[in-house]
Amino acid sequence: MAAAAAAAVAEPKTKYDRQLRIWGDQGQASLEKASICLLNCGPTGTEALKNLVLGGIGSVTVVDGSKVELADLGNNFLLDEGCLGQSRAKSICSFLQELNDAVKAKYVEESPATMIDTNPSFFSQFTVVIATQLPESSLLKLDGICRSANIVLVAARSYGLTGLVRVSIKEHCVIESKPDHFLDDLRLHKPWTELKQFAKSIDICDKDAVVHKHTPYIVILVRLAEKWADAHDGQLPSTRQEKREFKDLIRAHMLNVDEDNYKEAVESSYKVSVAPGISNDIHQIIDDASSEVNLSSSDFWVLVAALKEFIANEGNGELPLEGTIPDMTSLTEYYVSLQKIYQAKAESDCLAMEHRVKSILKRIGRDPESISRAYIKTFCKNTRKLRVCRYRSLEEEFSSPALSEVQKYFADEDSCFAMNFYILLRAVDRLAANYSRLPGIFDSTGFTSEIDEDVPRLKLAAVSVLSDMGLNGASLSEDLITEVCRFAGAEIHPVAAFIGGVASQEVIKLVTKQFVPVMGTFIFNGIDLKSQVLAL
């Protein structure tokens, strides 16, 4: 029994080993609790859902009222000839379960547009709604429904050689944004007492070659920064010339040219000159109106309120220390001692934050233990990297876009192409509303002549979109208008796979609350194989 239980615990860790290295146990647990609703299971939606199912999402519900047709077999790899005439939603769910039987899959045989119109409360049960291939009118209604219920909406669409992905939610707070490049939090510009005492305990002028070439660069920089400050009225190097002279001071303490620790000290000397205090981005967060918390405030904003108090008190103008140090040339005992000093300081800061969090929770009428210590610790480790993402509603974007940004996009060659696609993808819905079909789709065989008829129609619809956006003087590429008519609304599998992949990536970011989701409308240009995010 014990062996079986241990195997049951180990199995998910083995199955999801690689992704656990990216978002950890906490991120995986969030995925396994999440409930996803997919509207329309064409190739774009199926590709998105396939990625999430393989990643171990908790449950999926597919809403699609279509039957499998011959055309589906050409662009949807989860369907085969045995599915012809069957419910598309049922067939897709059956194949998805084969990919990962730990995921619960359900289906609803109903048109998404009908569900949006007749049963809006249906969507409140989900963590994320992925809406694929929805016309603009239905998407606007769905966005209003999701925003009122505080449900994340991810809209995705592939259309010929183009496609888009758009996230919509009032507010999304990220603690673990995991930027690609970020300066180590070493506090060399403002070392605390224990770090200074440890640095002073090591003689950086020791003539013992082994000790000298294995003194950690953190110690070297703390000692020499203090020496520099004593000679410069307490100021650290700030100008280019001073930074050059500080590097020369470090080199002057080398005994041999092969001392890697001193080379590391020279390379990291800029860390001594880091501006004290907190960044403008974090200032904006702690000064946000939401940091004035009450009973309905989220855990994130309670922690931000505690952080604001910590900075003004225990932090002396600084954020909680992260508590990790990078690899460096060092004697083992020196490195371990440094690790313990940084970890002890981080633990002390975290404890101070915990006390402030409990005090705030009690003050606003919540259980002081309602925010776990693990959550507080994660927050403290990432305070320099906090992000708050707020998205405009689709209605706001469509009716009153940021004109200054739009004009910049039209003035730039690559961005202009993306703006053209953005406008034309909206225009095809307007044409479809008037003619009950997408441009380029005909019953007769006169393809070329009828394409020529749809080109001016699509152009007229695009002019209407531009006018509604307040862009009466803008013009679109005639060649691109013709190409979009030639696309005939096709979901080409390679494009659908890419757009579905981007959509599922954004869902994972939103569910795990790790990494920063796309802030704007992601446009894929399959003609030139380029992509662009339009912040409208």
Among residues 526, 340, 508, 319, which one has the least CA distance to residue 425? 526
CA distances from 400 to 156, 169, 530 (A): 21, 18, 26
> 99-115: b or e for each residue (b if 16 or more CB lie within 10 Å)?
ebeebebebbeebbbeb
Query: What's the burial of 240, exposed, middle or buried (CB within 10 Å: 0-12/13-18/19+)?
Result: exposed
Integer-rounded Cα Rg, in Å, for the chain is 29
Model confidence pTM above 0.85:
yes
Tokens 């944004």 found at = 177
161 alpha-carbon distance from chain centroid: 25
Q: How far apart are CA 151 and CA 143, in angstroms?
A: 9
Q: How far apart are CA 143 and CA 152, in angstroms?
A: 9
User: What is the pLDDT, as a whole number, of residue 472?
Assistant: 79
Helix, strand, coil tally for the chain in percent (to 5): 55, 10, 35
Strands 35-39 and 59-63: parallel
Two tokens, residue 218: 């953190």
Angle subtended by helix axes 17-33 and 2-15, to nearest 10: 100
Residue 107 pairs with which residues in a beta bridge?
62
**Each residue's pLDDT expressed in tens, for the chain with a length of 536 residues:** 444 444 444 566 788 888 988 999 999 999 999 999 999 999 999 999 999 999 999 999 999 999 999 999 989 988 999 999 999 999 999 999 999 999 999 999 999 999 999 999 999 999 999 999 999 999 999 999 999 999 999 999 999 999 999 999 999 999 999 998 888 999 999 999 999 999 999 999 888 989 999 999 999 999 999 999 999 999 999 999 999 999 999 999 999 889 999 999 999 999 999 887 899 999 999 999 999 999 999 999 999 999 999 999 999 999 999 999 999 999 999 999 999 999 999 999 999 999 999 999 999 999 999 999 999 999 999 999 999 999 999 999 998 999 999 989 998 988 999 999 999 999 999 999 999 999 988 765 545 557 888 999 999 999 999 998 888 777 899 999 999 999 999 999 999 999 999 999 999 999 999 999 999 999 999 999 999 999 99
Among residues 466, 402, 395, which one has the least CA distance to residue 430? 466
Q: How far apart are CA 440 and CA 487, in angstroms?
A: 7
User: Beta strands of 205-343 (E only): which ranges?
Assistant: none
Q: What is the number of H-type helices and E-type strands within the chain?
A: 22, 10
